[in-house]
Amino acid sequence: MITETAPPEVQTGKGKRRLDENVLRNLGLVGVLVLLVIIGIITRPDLYSDPEWVKDNIFTILQQASAIGVVAVGMTFVIIGGGIDLSVGAIIALAGVWATTLATQSYGAAGMIFCALLVGLAVGLVNGVLISYGKLVPFIATLAMMVAARGLAAQISGKQTQVSTNTTINDIATTRPLGIPLLVWILALVVAIGWIVLNRTTFGRRTVAIGGNPEAARLAGINVKWQTLLLYGLSGLCCGIAAIMLTSQGTSAQAAMANLYELDAIAAAIIGGTLLSGGRGTIIGTLFGVLVFATITNLFAINNLSTEVQNMVKGGIIVAAVLIQQFRYRSLTQLLKR
């Protein structure tokens, strides 16, 4: 057939190009972070003149980013694998509420953690089964789960705030091994494991393959359905971890917790360079995305500004990031077409 055009075989060393592109995007996000800090210094020079405050503030930002960061890592896997998970906030609420019922609390800290992780994983796997084997569109399946899981959480908690009386759990948010908050350690660990799994394991390779071209993956002998199922399980597990972190931070759990986390997690992944259509994304980019949002929140807080303005700025940043991404992608493909 004569419909296809052969791209010219020039420009050696193009393999490095994509790596460069990722590094470039991450550098861009670092630039945004620096800019936000500079704005902070200009608007509140009084605070920034105190090094102790600066150190504490950095930890505040990181702690604020910790739970959403863990969720966003799971979300990044799901999106790279060609899906979306709208139910993460609801799963956190369900896992948090389930882990703080009087019955669960009677099993102690280990029982509560085990419960949260198990509930998160199980709900994630239900999503996965509906999508892989029930052939539901991910958007619909997880939208339904978002509604249902919050409903179940409200049912279990009787719409009450459930206070955690377990000191081990509550201490997670306050202990500082080696001077760094435990929540930040957890985030660092999840990010590190996420990076290794995505870049260095067969699980990560399959994820990129099924998101990049599911038909090619299938015809290469990869079990696309099974891998999809596992990805939603992974996302659910991350929600279970985040549920414990949030419960500890608030020393309580309720059905309304982690509200709109799905949107924050998706937004963080997207501005971090994850392609919404799947097949491409980085864990580090997502981490930077989370940090940018947390820093903005912090910036508004230290200036005593309203959350309304803050949300408008967040929306603007999402649009700007995606526009930049599209522009890059387009110019790159145009370059190759030439």
Partner 1 sequence: MSEEPDVDTSEAPAVTPPGSDDSGGDGHEVVLRLTDVVKTFPGVRALDGVQLEVRAGEVHCLLGQNGAGKSTLIKVLAGVHHADSGEVLWLGEPFAPATPQAAMRARIATIYQELDLVDDLSVAENAFLGHEQSRFGFTKRRSAAVKTREILARLGHAEIPPRQLVRSLPAAAKQVVSMARALSHDARLIVMDEPSAVLAHDEVENLFRIIRGLTAQGIAVIYISHRLEEIREIGDRVTVLKDGRTTAANLPARDTPTRELVSRMTGRTIEYVFPPRPTAPTAEPLLVVEGLSRAGEFADASLAVAPGEIVGIAGLVGSGRSELLETIFGARRADSGRVTLDGHRITSVGGAVRHGMGMAPEERKSQALLLDEPVFKNMTLSSFAGFAHAGFTDASDERKAASKTADLLELRPRDVSRPARTLSGGNQQKVVVGRWLLGGTKLLLLDEPTRGVDVGARAELYQVIRGLAADGVGVLLVSSEVPEVLGLADRVLVMREGRLIHEAPAEELAEDTVLDLVMAGSLMEGEAA
Q: Interface residues with partner 1 (CB under 8 A)? A: 1-7, 9, 11-18, 200-205, 208-209, 212-213, 215-223, 279-280, 336
Q: How far is the CB of 81 from partner 1 (least distance, A)?
A: 13
Contacts of residue 114, defined as CB under 8 A and 6 or more positions apart, other chains included, come to 107
Pairing of strands 252-253, 162-163: antiparallel
Containing 199, the helix (H) or strand (E) segment is helix 182-200
Q: Which is nearer to partner 1, 55 or 200 (CB)?
A: 200
- Cβ atoms of residues 319 and 304 within 8 Å: no
Q: How far is the CB of 73 from partner 1 (least distance, A)?
A: 18
Q: How far is the CB of 229 from partner 1 (least distance, A)?
A: 15
Q: Which is nearer to partner 1, 91 or 224 (CB)?
A: 224
Give start and end residues of each alpha helix (H) in 7-107: 15-43, 45-48, 51-80, 88-99, 102-105
Q: How far is the CB of 280 from partner 1 (least distance, A)?
A: 6
Rounded Cα–Cα distance for residues 16 and 109 (Å):
47
Cα four-point dihedral sign 88, 93, 96, 98:
negative
Q: Which is nearer to partner 1, 21 or 168 (CB)?
A: 21
Q: Which is nearer to partner 1, 305 or 336 (CB)?
A: 336
Q: Which two tokens stand for residue 70?
A: 């863990």
Q: How far is the CB of 295 from partner 1 (least distance, A)?
A: 30
